[in-house]
Structure 1
């Protein structure tokens, strides 16, 4: 009986948190690489100026003789490395945000218990003497010797563990939040404190590298110093039952590996199931944290990007081409559905309405960004003219662009997003009429959302009660086909 009581000591909270952390941090690493593959360049400037990247994972060079879009930048990372690999950004994002919820929850519980039972003394240095002691310990390691065991950690281990728990982990959360368009729009000063959106992205990547290096060194030292004893401390919480602790430790690693294989295979085989299942946990959290945030951006003209990356290929239909030849004189914006007063507005009529102008930071789901000035009509003014019915809840924006043959590109936003002061139909960019490459004659701007929600080459607006009857019922073409989430605040 005593043996079983001791054996179940592996439910020690440190041991449990180790394996939970291992599972979710490894899922975060692999899904993060999948996200990086969508735009495998890192910058220190928010304009993502061509050639200004400090690190890239692609040999592609933008040609000068043909249209080059952000989608052409993508690189297919292997499924052995990324989750799920092979340019599946939607699945990568789902696994990333699902994992971050439980990684943060595990971390909060770990830190709470660390302070509740006094375990913080093992990690947080209480004397400056630890730094010369750490240098001496590094010198011992450099000579391929093992330093004397600490109590319970030697100086280098203590500094490394404290750095990961109290510096790197919070920094990863802070920089991850800064890449959210909703947070960046509501708290622009916060993003500027980190050097901008792309600086936050670069720091986030460097944090990933630091965690990878720490993991490699940590596992190596656990193995070479005294693997059975170290596993008993990790799993059991004290030096006892070494054999059982090693078996549990190895078994835990096998389980984590199996879960990774399963996650990769199910994401490739049945992405819709992954989208819906992980969305049960993800979407309520994203919506509750981000959906109510309103943009307060007012960048100076000096911040406008020298080059704003093109994303998406312009419509090729004969009707759209004829409109471009007449400067869109025969273009009409149709507003219908659940409205009292259907509208059919020309570009001239839109320009005659009250205009709004804003200089804001654009966030592409692929990772690049850019600052531009947008001038147009507030969507609330269009709604005021059309007078939505009481049961209208969503706006469906349809494009002249065919995402695939006979399939119109569309996206959905709700009335709450439509009511934002900086939600506009823009017909000018940087003080000039919108160019075809950027969505002429007008494009949607919703400054708290990712770029894929901001329909270009707008054709019509339809107010509906429920979007689940449209397309595959996910809230937009990207959500239907590329399995993005309907909440695009991050």
Structure 2
């Protein structure tokens, strides 16, 4: 009995002990691709962990920045109102109310062609910004366009659309300038007196104090508006055109000296900030139009009328609908048939 018990206990201990692993021939070996996959997976996991940590931090930074900007804006409003209430501020506003008289030959009112020009400019500008941002961030274009005279030269369909819009926008701008100077409307947006500077400062101070200057765009723009429109038409637009031409396929390839004198890096460094300036101007412009008497302002801009009717609002709403429809329709399935009228289109 003792021997059998000892044997049983010995057998149970032996069975409880782990068995040695089976030895076989190794059939899987690490390769460059597998190591690369492991490294990419570790990098992705690291990015996800960093994103999880950084998201709340970014949210906190945005909230703090928003509160700080709100506080700073409030302080600017209070300080400006105090300065304008002082005797010196009152005297400054009296001497420079924010606008100065136009030349005697200046036309009164806004013509109908200016309303159409305004709509077409907004239409082309919105689509130019949209297509420009797509070109900037597009990695793998789905379709390419080639001119018939040079089939080997290919650009993305989005870039072709952007450049086609540029041509239409420039043509509309040339027509605008011709009509502007032919009808005398240039006197409304081109400064004709050095009084524009102190009056612009006065208008800016009134906007900053939230006691906005009186709007009477049918007869005259305030000096700050005049400088803004002058900058858009005669500074920002030419810069956008000059830098866009340098970056486009229109630029001559064999002009070595010209290319060296005007590097493409300079054009890229200017083109994008100019686009941001157009966007900022549009946001502020539309906001002020709606906040300073929407019906009257829209009647001036779209209906060529001075009054508080609803025709300008209706035309403005229709223009927004047309721009939104064009925004949604600007896709390869719609653009490709149009692009084929001017060249060949090939998909990836």
TM over 0.5: yes
In the other structure, the counterpart of 1:23 is: 123
Cα gap change, 1:11/1:136 in structure 2, threshold over 3 Å: closer, same or farther? closer
Aligned to 1:34: 134
**Counterpart of 2:248?**
180
For residue 148 of structure 1, report the CA deviation from its aligned partner. 2.7
Q: Contact between 2:188 and 2:220, CA under 8 Å: does it hold in 1?
A: yes
Identify the residue that residue 146 of structure 1 maps to in structure 2.
212
Q: Deviations over 1:290-317 (max 9, x none)?
A: xxxxxxxxxxxxxxxxxxxxxxxxxxxx
Looking at structure 1, the residues matched to 206 and 258 of structure 2 have their Cα atoms a distance apart, in angstroms, of 42
Q: 2 CA distance for matches of 1:101 and 1:279?
A: 17
Distance, in Å, in 2 between the alignment partners of 1:125 and 1:224 is 25
Which residue of 339, 342, 345 corresponds with 1:278?
339
Residue deviations 1:102-147, cap 9 Å, x none? 1111111111000011110011101222112112211111122211
Deviation, structure 1 residue 101: 1.7
Question: 1 or 2 for the larger relative contact order (CA 8 Å, sep ≥6)?
Answer: 2
State how far apart, in whole Å, the 2-side matches of 1:139 and 1:192 are: 45
Q: Which residue of the partner structure matches residue 220 of structure 1? A: 287
Structure-2 separation of matches of 1:119 and 1:11 = 9
Matched ranges for 1:251-262 at <5 A: 251-262=318-329
Q: 1:229 to 1:188 in 2, by over 3 A?
A: farther
**Correspondence for 1:85:** none
The corresponding residue for 2:199 is: 133
CA contact (8 A) 2:215 2:292 kept: no
Question: Could you say what the CA RMSD is over the residues aligned between the two structures, in angstroms?
Answer: 2.5
Partner SS, residue 185 of structure 1: coil
For residue 242 of structure 1, give the secondary structure of its aligned residue in structure 2: coil
Structure 2 residue 112 is the aligned partner of structure 1 residue 12 = yes
* Aligned position for 1:245: 312
Q: Contact (CA 8 Å) 1:14, 1:234: kept in 2 or not?
A: yes
> Does the C-alpha gap of structure 1 residues 481 and 118 become closer, same or farther in structure 2, counting only changes over 3 Å?
same
Tell me, in whole angstroms, the C-alpha distance in 1 between the residues paired with 2:115 and 2:242: 26
C-alpha contact (below 8 Å) 2:240/2:274 kept by paired residues? yes
Name the residue aligned to 2:42. none
Q: Which runs of 5+ in 1 are unaligned?
A: 1-9, 39-73, 77-88, 284-473, 483-490
2:183 to 106, 114, 117: 117
Is this contact kept in 2: 1:37–1:75, CA < 8 A? no
Please identify which structure carries the higher strand content: 1
The equivalent residue for 2:168 is 102
Offset at residue 186 of structure 1 (A)? 4.2
Question: 1:192, 1:148 → 2: CA distance?
Answer: 50
Distance across 2 between alignment mates of 1:180 and 1:205:
14
Contact 2:163 2:248 in 1 (8 A): no
How far apart are 1:162 and its partner, in Å? Answer: 0.8
Contact 1:235 1:249 in 2 (8 A): yes
Deviations 1:270-304 (A, max 9, x none): 2xx62341343x55xxxxxxxxxxxxxxxxxxxxx
1:466-488 Cα deviation digits (max 9, x unpaired): xxxxxxxx4xxxx6334xxxxxx
Larger helix proportion, structure 1 or 2?
A: 2
**Contact 1:11/1:235, CA 8 A, preserved across alignment:** no
Instruction: Tell me the number of residue pairs that the alignment of Structure 1 and Structure 2 aligns.
Output: 225
Deviation by residue 1:215-248 (Cα, 9 ceiling, x = unmatched)? 0010001000111111111112230472111111
Partner SS for 2:297: helix
1:393-438 residue CA offsets vs partner (Å, 9 max, x unmatched): xxxxxxxxxxxxxxxxxxxxxxxxxxxxxxxxxxxxxxxxxxxxxx
* Counterparts of residues 229-378 of structure 1 (less than 5 Å): 229-240=296-307, 242-264=309-331, 267=332, 270=333, 274-280=335-341
Change (3 A) 1:137 1:250: same
CA distance in 1, matches of 2:260, 2:191: 31
Distance in 2 (alpha carbons) for counterparts of 1:187 and 1:127: 42
| 1:158 aligns to 2:219 (yes or no) | no
Q: Secondary structure at the match of 2:166?
A: helix
- CA gap of 1:146–1:188, structure 2 versus 1, over 3 A, is farther
Over 3 Å counting, the alpha-carbon distance change for 1:259 and 1:182 in structure 2 is closer
User: Shift in Å at residue 250 of structure 1?
Assistant: 1.0
